[in-house]
Structure 1
């Protein structure tokens, strides 16, 4: 019944709804991503302008993932993803923030470097910016576009430059930018993220050289899966990660350009932040101490 009402609302919106009603329908679409899912990840390289290029093997994997809103405001929705591995092992996964008519966009350049840029009020009108963050809540990529509701379909499209995906980060050196052409669509049984990715080498002069195109599907299917371990884990860890998000927010806002070292003391940033989270979970939570230590970790990787 919920799905039927949702689709009926979408059809009506294309005919008679005003801006406020359209915005509410956008919000419903974003919140439809909440749930407990089986997720399949499938990627395959397709076309290269270099006829001698040898395509890499296709990539496929699957997991159980819990997606839920940690913030829900009229102009802002934050969805946290948590993986459940082998029924009990928890992996804090990526996060997606959605901002309505947002004008501040963090643009990826290359080599772990991002630039704070501002788009025009005209360009932002009616759009939602999707800000995607990595497992340690550090920035990954941001793109903006308009949700479309027509013929019973509900989808959002955007193009954004991003770092290499984790599955290729340590095995590829022939490209340094992923240009993601993304389509997020609500489906009957969940939702999907369809990608047409350009794998690009961006040289020192800022010129882009296309290496190969890639097709990707991340399909989220609702089912009778056990996401309770993820719910329990979040109850124990939400305060620490709320402070991580707040610290990141102020750090990003304070810097026009951000560049991060990949490793410090032979450790990745997420390793240090995850370890810090475990330390603070072990005893009574000291927020002031946690915030100070979180900022110290981030600053250690930040090369301003």
Structure 2
């Protein structure tokens, strides 16, 4: 009996150690996404059910991007991406929050509308939600998946709906939902964001596939010296954008549905928030002032669902 008890305790202990080891591997893989990179973007449409469909030209581009960890706690890692153009221009780019076993997911519907979804505990076991935000920290898409560490590979994948990508948002109106098949994996020189996407026409009668595409966004480690201005810029702007995140957190917490308007006074939301960021730095606003002004702007773009 004593022997059986010792074996049981050993098994429980070993399982606990292995689970902890897996969790730490997950965290290290996510933290490895941060760094200084040259990024190449390559997309091509590959299939369409309608034989009369004309494939759009391939998309190829590149740039320099600094992915900086803005928040790091045991079950949440926030990575802010900053696009670097030349020696003196920085654009606050997309943001990704990695949250472990969180039950709330903001699901994209269509027409700039996201709906809050509650996940079951069973569906969350050992999984991470990747929450991706627009340049102004408004929602983009969220998806859930399991990090896998095997044969020296570290990979995470998921599928979710999202708005049109920025590369097509102002150029196309023949579809309104991008169903993303996301796969992220580490490489010896950085990491790869591989995509198998479906361009969907969503209407009251259901979803219709317009075309499929393949995408590769490759992040290759770059010389840190290229990002000196970006580091200086972020040091000045970081407190303001920390406050913007807190305001958005309050918005998400109090709204089961988030719907965002297009232009107001000739400007889209990110233009107003970027202007506020510059004003905050110039006039040395404190956190209270930041939150009040940011909330005014965000509220003016929220569309009531009542």
User: When the two structures are superposed, what TM-score results if normalisation uses the length of structure 2?
Assistant: 0.92
Larger Rg: 2
Partner of 2:102, secondary structure, is coil
Distance 1:277 1:220 in 2: 28
User: For 1:87 and 1:65, how far apart are their aligned partners in 2?
Assistant: 13
Q: Secondary structure at the match of 2:47?
A: coil
Which residue matches 2:129?
129
Alpha-carbon distance in structure 2 between the residues aligned to 1:17 and 1:174: 51
1:49 counterpart residue number: 49
Structure-1 residue corresponding to 2:273: 273
Q: Indicate yes or no: 2:227 matched with 1:223.
A: no
Mapped to 2, the partners of 1:284 and 1:265 lie a distance apart of 26
Q: Please give the alpha-carbon distance, in whole angstroms, between the structure 2 residues aligned to 1:204 and 1:250.
A: 31
Counterpart CA distance in 1 for 2:165 and 2:51 is 24
Give the TM-score normalised by structure 1. Answer: 0.93
The answer to whether the aligner puts 1:188 opposite 2:165 as a matched pair is no
Q: Which moved more, 1:281-290 or 1:81-90?
A: 281-290
Unaligned runs of 5+ in 2: 1-14
Are the structure 2 counterparts of residues 16 and 257 from structure 1 closer, same or farther at C-alpha, using a change threshold of 3 Å? Answer: closer
1:217 Cα shift? 0.4
Tell me whether 184-193 or 15-24 shows the greater mean CA deviation.
Answer: 15-24
- Rounded to whole Å, the distance in 2 between the matches of 1:107 and 1:284 is 36
1:267 is paired with a residue of what secondary structure? Answer: coil
Runs ≥4 in structure 1, deviation > 3 angstroms? none
How far did residue 19 of structure 1 move?
A: 1.1
Q: Which residue of 1 aligns with 2:37?
A: 37
Distance 2:229 2:204 in 1: 46
- Per-residue deviation, 1:204: 2.2
List gaps (5 residues or longer) in structure 1: 1-14
CA positional deviation for 1:284: 2.2
CA apart distance, 1:248? 0.3
Structure 1: distance between partners of 2:91 and 2:48: 35
Look up the match of 1:68: 68
Shift of 1:90: 0.5
Instruction: Quote the Cα distance in structure 1 between the aligned partners of 2:222 and 2:177.
Output: 35
Taking the aligned partners of 2:238 and 2:29, their CA distance within structure 1 comes to: 25
Question: 3-state DSSP class of the match of 1:265?
Answer: coil
Does structure 1 residue 99 correspond to structure 2 residue 107? no
Instruction: Name the CA distance, whole Å, in 2 between partners of 1:286 and 1:68.
Output: 23
Q: Which whole-Å deviations, capped at 9, do the CAs of 1:5-32 have from their partners, x for residues lacking one? A: xxxxxxxxxx996111100000000011
Output aligned runs, 1:113-128, within 5 Å.
113-128=113-128
Matched length: 289
